[in-house]
Copies of this chain bind each other. A is one copy, B any other.
Amino acid sequence: MQRIAVLTSGGDSSGMNPAIRAVTRKAIYHGIEVIGIKRGYTGFIEGEMSLLNLGSVADIIQRGGTMLFSARSEEFRTPEGRKKAFENVERFGIQGLIVIGGDGSFRGARQFHKEFGLPIIGVPGTIDNDIVGTDYSIGFDTAINTVVDAINKIRDTATSHERTFIVEVMGRDTGFIALTAGLAAGAESILIPEKPFSINDICHKLMQGHKRGKLHSIILVAEGASDSFDVASQIKEKTGFDTKVIILGHLQRGGAPTAYERVIGSCMGAKAVELLRNGEVLKMVGMQAGKIVALDIEDSALKKKPIDMDMYDLANILSI
């Protein structure tokens, strides 16, 4: 193996840069050249790529986002688009590809491998942490800390004014961010798509807390669980409490990667290079049982990653 390529695809997440750095330096260490492809599959199709050297990835480990840029490519979903990309594979002499992204990006990778046989290794990168098979996806720890910091600030105002705040976080189909950040921040209620909820129960808990002297409440809502403004107006109506909504939105993606993010991003990037060197042709790097391992990339498409309901119950018990 003499030359591989790396790209980031889908929504950016903090920690992608440490992973790109690890891919690049680990490969160069083993005498393999690394091509950086820009703008995900878009740059793959359009041949926007260039050689990375040791210095190309200097001073990026502490930066959010992705130095290779990212994009969602419609064209890569077409056979013509993928054919153009393969022409670049031949033109640039690429013998293996590392795709850092989410399950949408991995679908494209599987299809491309099936059609053209190029060895491809996926590295899970999405703040949602919802990729099946791996316990961790790059960007999650940083996102959680950003949400917790935001809630800390909001709590100051919530306490000073004895208010209820609805904080909406990312998670269209899954509640990983809401649940983990909610447990960490001591949110009074957590609404996730995986678990039906009753406004009456929430209001009951709010009012009981109020009776015990609680001066404020934070309700964390995954965007896919409910409409936050609707939840707010129902609470206001049923309890009379002053209730405000704040939507964290794109604030959750960026920011300097946490130490954990940098460690895992580095380990996953290096593992991807190792897998290519070992002759693997279609795998996903992942975390299982606390270790960085190789997983079947097909797995990530088949089912939905289950959320830890014990953690959900614990969050409820502790935020009484």
Chain A residues within 8 Å of B, Cβ to Cβ: 8, 12, 14, 21-22, 25-26, 29, 54-55, 58, 61-66, 69-71, 135, 141, 144-148, 150, 152-157, 159-162, 165, 180-181, 183-186, 212-215, 244, 246-247, 249-251, 253-256, 258-260, 262-263, 266-267, 270, 287-291, 311, 314, 317-318, 320
Contacts and interface: CB of A to CB of B under 8 A. Distances in A.
B160 A70 contact: yes
Contacts of A317: 25-26, 29, 270
A255 B161 contact: no
A214 B59 CA distance: 11
12 contacts: A26-B314, A29-B317, A62-B186, A63-B156, A64-B153, A66-B160, A71-B161, A185-B259, A244-B250, A246-B249, A270-B314, A287-B290
A69 B160 CA distance: 4
Question: Which of A165, A254, A255, A266 has the largest count of B CB atoms less than 10 A from its CB?
Answer: A254
Contact of A253 (B12, B145, B153): B153
Given A12-B157, A165-B250, A318 B262 contact: no
Contacts of A147: 259
B267 A314 contact: yes
Given A71-B161, A135-B290, A263 B156 contact: no
Question: Which of A150, A157, A320 has the largest count of B CB atoms less than 10 A from its CB?
Answer: A157
A156 B55 contact: no
Given A156-B65, A156-B254, A160-B66, A320 B29 contact: yes
A180 B264 CA distance: 10
Top 5 nearest A-B pairs (CB, nearest first) are: A156-B254, A64-B156, A65-B156, A12-B160, A289-B289
